[in-house]
Structure 1
C-alpha cells in the first residue's frame, strides 16, 4: 500500500497540473451541443426536432427555438416512457439499458433517469478530475494509502424485461474497475444491502477495521453514521480510529446547517468539498475549500442553459412558462437565481432538472445551488427561498447556540402563516424567542417577506421536536437511506403526510 500511495500522490499531482492549464468556456459548450446533436440526429427525437437542419444553422439559437423546455413528466409522457419500454433510437442512439431511480424531494413516485455508456464514462472522467484536487490540499503521504468510504444507496440492481434499474451508485459500481475496489468501502456485500438500518449497523461494526481518508455522501446520513460509530466504540472523536480522515465530499443538501454537528465529531478540521452530482449527470465540483462556488464542467457531455427564476418565466406554482428565456454560459450574471436546464449524452433534451443555481464567479464558471424550483414559500407573495430559510436558521442556531440541522416548514393556508418544525435534543425554554428571532432574520433578508408580514402574512408558528422524528418520518414514507433527503419545504400533500405522522407519534 505505501508504494501504491506514492503512485496515487504522483498521479494526482500530474492530473492537477494538467487540469489547471485547461480553460473552459462557451466554445466548449458549443462543441458539446454539436456532438449531442450529431450523435442523435437520426433518432426519433432528432428527426422530430430537425437536428440535421439545426446543425447547419446558427446552432444554439436554432436548437432553443426548435426544442421546448420540458420537466420530467412532460418528457416522460412524450418520449422517455418509450425508451424505458425498450424502444431503440428514441432519444439516444441505440437502446438505453440502464435507468437510475430518483425521487428527489418534491415528487413521490420514482423517476427513471436514463444512463448510457457515454454518461458513465463522463462520470468516471469527472471523478478522476475531482481526485486531482487532493494535490492542492497538501495532504500527508499517509493519506494516499487510505480508502474512500461512500455512504450511498444499495448497489443491487433490478433486472426488468426491457432494462436494468436501481440507484445510480449501483449502476456506476457495476462499471467500476476492479483496480479501484480495494480503495473503496464499505465493500460489495454491505453496499448491496437495501435495508438502511441494517447497512448502517454493518458499517458501524466494520469501522475500526478500515483506514478511511475520504468520506462521501449526503450530510444527514454521513453524520448519523459517524455519531453511531463514536457511540458504539466509545470514542472521543472519529479520528480515534480514522486518524487519516482529512476530506469530506458532500452534496445533495446545504452543508452549512450540519457543520457544527460535524465539528463535534472530529478532533481537527477536515476539508469540505461540495459536489453537484445528480442522477442526470455530474455537473460541478468545488476546486478549493476556501471558495464557496463549484466549477461547472463544460466539456463533460452536458449542454447547460439557465432560465432566470422570475415571474416573467415561472408562475406562482413554479411551472415554467412557454415564453421563458433561456441563457447560455456566456450570458449568465453573478447573483441571479437560474433554473437549470440540461441536454445530456443520455438522451435528455432541454430537461428542467428542478434545481436553482446562482453564479458566484462567472469568470471561473463557479456556482452554488440556491434552492429548488418547487421548494419555496409564497402563500401571499412573500417568495421565500430555500436559501433565505437556511441562512435565517443558521443565524438563529448561532445566536441561541442550538443545533437545528434537521427541520422542515410548510405554509398553512387556513391559518395564513408558516409552520416550522425544528429538531434538536436540547431543552428549549422559550420557543417563542426562537421563532421571533427567526422571523426577524427573514424580514431583514427578504423585502417581499417583510412586506407580507406587515400586511397579510401572520406570525410563524414553531414546534420543537426530536431530530429522530425526521428519520422516523423518512422511514414511514419508505425513504430512509443515503440517497434520500428530507424535504425542507413541504408541499400540500407532503404537509398532510407529515402532520398525520407527527400527530400519531
Structure 2
C-alpha cells in the first residue's frame, strides 16, 4: 500500500464517522442549514425584500418565499451578473457556472466561497465512503481520468465564468491532481472529437484505475481506445481499472454495452451534481439510492410532482416526505438560490438514512394524449426489454409522441441507436410497450381504448445521436440527450438518421 493509499484509509474512517453523525439526524441537520442560510442572507437585497429577519419557522419561509425557476429569479441574478454585491447572498460570487438555458439563452448560476465546498466535498466523501466500505485504497495511487468540460474560464464583470466541471477542475486536491488525466492543456480543447483523440493518446500508456464521466461519452472514449488497440477489451488495456464514476443519466441503458467494452465487471459510483449544488452521492455498494447531502449548505424542499403546476403546490421539508413518491426537487443554498426549482424529480427509497433516486425531469415527459409518461417509466420499460433480450446493446435512445390525424394511428416513437439489435425486434417492442402499460395506467387506458397504437421503434444509424448533438453544438462534455420530449423537435431531426426497414 502506497503512502497516499495508507493516508486515505484514516481519512476515510474519519469522514464516514462524521457523515454518519449528520446523516443519522437529518431533520436537525436541515434545520441548522436553514437557520444558517437565513442568517447569511438577511442583509441582502433578496433577504430584505422577503423579510428574512422575521422568518422563524419553515412555515414563515414558505409564506414569504415563492417557488421560482431561473426566469423568475432572473431580475436578481441579472444584478449579480452586472457586478452588484449583497443581492442574493452576502458579497459577490467567486464564480458563475454557465449553463445552456431554454427561453433565456445562457444561464449564470452563482457559486460563492461558502458554496464551493459543497461541490468539492461531495465527490471526495463519495470516494472515501467507497474506500472505507470496500477496502480498495490502491486506486488513488494510480491514474484517474475525469471526462469533463474545459477548465478555461472567462471573466464576466470581474467574476470567473465557465462550465461547472471546469470550475471544479480548478479545485481538485493536490494529492489527486498528480495522478489526474487528461492534462490541463488537453482538457482545454473545446472540440470534443479532437479532445477525445488527444485523451486516448495521453491515457493509453498509463495505469488507469478510475474513470469518471457521463456514460455515453465514456462509451465513445472506450470505442476510440478499442479502435486504437485492435479491439482489445478495456480490462486488457488498463488491467487495474476498477472504479467507474458516473452521473447525469440513468446507467441501466448503457450498462450492457459498457461492460461488454470493459470485459469485466467494475465497481460503479453514482453522483448527483448540478450547477446548483452537489445534492447526493452513492455512499454504499450494497444499498439502493444516493445519500442526500443534508448538511452541506443546501436546504431541500419537495413538491409532489402531480401538484407541481398547481398555483399553490404542497411544499415539504425532509421530515415530511414519503417513500416511493415522485417529488420535484427545490433548493435553497448558500450561493443565493431561494425556492429554486432545478427541474429534476426524485424519489426516496430510504429514510434511515435519507437516500434518493433521480427519476427524471419535471419538464421532460410525454403527455400529448394525457398519459404523462416520465423518464423513470421509459427507462424501466427499456430495462425489462433488455432483460428478456440480453443480447441487445444500446448506444442511446429517446422517445417522442407521433400525432396522427387518423384516428387510432398516433403512437409513441422510440428512436434507438442499437450497438446490437434484439434477436426479435417485434417481440422486443411488444415487451417495451407492455411494460410501459404496467408502469403507467393512463398510457394503458389509451392503448386499450385504441386512442394510441402500440409504440414504434425507429432504428437509427450508428452514431446518430452524436451527429445530432454535434449539429446542435453540444457534443461531449456534460451534455446529454433528453430521454423523452413532449414535442417533435429532436424526433424530427433524428428521422434523417433512420435506417430503412
TM-score for the superposition, normalised by structure 1: 0.92
1:71-116 deviation line (CA, Å, top 9, x unaligned): 111111x321111111111111112241112237x77933221111
1:48-92 deviation line (CA, Å, top 9, x unaligned): 0000011xx3x211001100000111111x321111111111111
2:229 paired with 1:240: no
> Which is worse superposed, 374-383 or 336-345?
374-383
Once the two structures are superposed, the pairs formed by residues 25-104 of structure 1 within 5 Å of their partners are: 25-54=26-55, 57=56, 59-76=57-74, 78-103=75-100
User: 1:317: which partner in 2?
Assistant: none
User: 1:5: which partner in 2?
Assistant: 5
User: 1:440: which partner in 2?
Assistant: 434
Task: Give yes or no for contact 1:388–1:445 (8 Å, CA) kept in 2.
Answer: yes
1:414 Cα shift? 3.4
- Identify the match of residue 263 of structure 1 among 259, 264, 271: 259
1:378 Cα shift? 1.2
1:321 Cα shift? 2.5
Once the two structures are superposed, the pairs formed by residues 153-232 of structure 1 within 5 Å of their partners are: 153-232=149-228
- CA distance in 2 between counterparts of 1:366 and 1:392 reads 23
Structure 1 residue ranges without an equivalent (≥5) = 315-319
Task: Give yes or no for contact 1:86–1:96 (8 Å, CA) kept in 2.
Answer: no
User: 1:374: which partner in 2?
Assistant: 363
- Identify the match of residue 402 of structure 2 among 404, 412, 415: 412
2:298 paired with 1:279: no
User: 2:416: which partner in 1?
Assistant: 422
User: 2:392: which partner in 1?
Assistant: 402
Once the two structures are superposed, the pairs formed by residues 322-471 of structure 1 within 5 Å of their partners are: 322-400=311-389, 401-414=391-404, 416-426=410-420, 431-455=425-449, 456-471=451-466
Over 3 Å counting, the alpha-carbon distance change for 1:40 and 1:259 in structure 2 is same
Secondary structure of the residue aligned to 2:319 is coil
Task: Give yes or no for contact 1:84–1:162 (8 Å, CA) kept in 2.
Answer: no
- CA distance in 2 between counterparts of 1:208 and 1:495 reads 35
- CA distance in 2 between counterparts of 1:125 and 1:461 reads 44
- CA distance in 2 between counterparts of 1:402 and 1:155 reads 37
1:285-307 deviation line (CA, Å, top 9, x unaligned): 11112222100010000000000
1:175 Cα shift? 3.4
> Which is worse superposed, 112-121 or 456-465?
456-465
User: 1:480: which partner in 2?
Assistant: 475
> Which is worse superposed, 111-120 or 348-357?
111-120
Task: Give yes or no for contact 2:140–2:176 (8 Å, CA) kept in 1.
Answer: no
1:453 Cα shift? 1.2
1:446 Cα shift? 1.7
Task: Give yes or no for contact 2:109–2:275 (8 Å, CA) kept in 1.
Answer: yes
Runs of 4+ deviating beyond 6 Å: none
1:386 Cα shift? 0.8
1:503 Cα shift? 7.6
1:427 Cα shift? 5.5
Task: Give yes or no for contact 1:89–1:95 (8 Å, CA) kept in 2.
Answer: yes
TM-score for the superposition, normalised by structure 2: 0.93
> Which is worse superposed, 111-120 or 1-10?
1-10
Secondary structure of the residue aligned to 1:330 is helix
- CA distance in 2 between counterparts of 1:445 and 1:343 reads 32
Secondary structure of the residue aligned to 1:480 is coil
Over 3 Å counting, the alpha-carbon distance change for 1:503 and 1:438 in structure 2 is closer
> Which is worse superposed, 478-487 or 423-432?
423-432
- CA distance in 2 between counterparts of 1:209 and 1:449 reads 51
1:458 Cα shift? 2.9
- CA distance in 1 between counterparts of 2:383 and 2:200 reads 30
- CA distance in 2 between counterparts of 1:392 and 1:117 reads 43
- CA distance in 2 between counterparts of 1:195 and 1:420 reads 29
Over 3 Å counting, the alpha-carbon distance change for 1:236 and 1:34 in structure 2 is same
Task: Give yes or no for contact 1:24–1:299 (8 Å, CA) kept in 2.
Answer: no
Over 3 Å counting, the alpha-carbon distance change for 1:373 and 1:238 in structure 2 is same
- CA distance in 1 between counterparts of 2:104 and 2:425 reads 32
1:437 Cα shift? 2.6
1:112-164 deviation line (CA, Å, top 9, x unaligned): 21111111122222233222113234345643411321111111112233432
- CA distance in 2 between counterparts of 1:107 and 1:263 reads 38
Structure 2 residue ranges without an equivalent (≥5) = none
Secondary structure of the residue aligned to 1:112 is strand
> Which is worse superposed, 119-128 or 149-158?
119-128
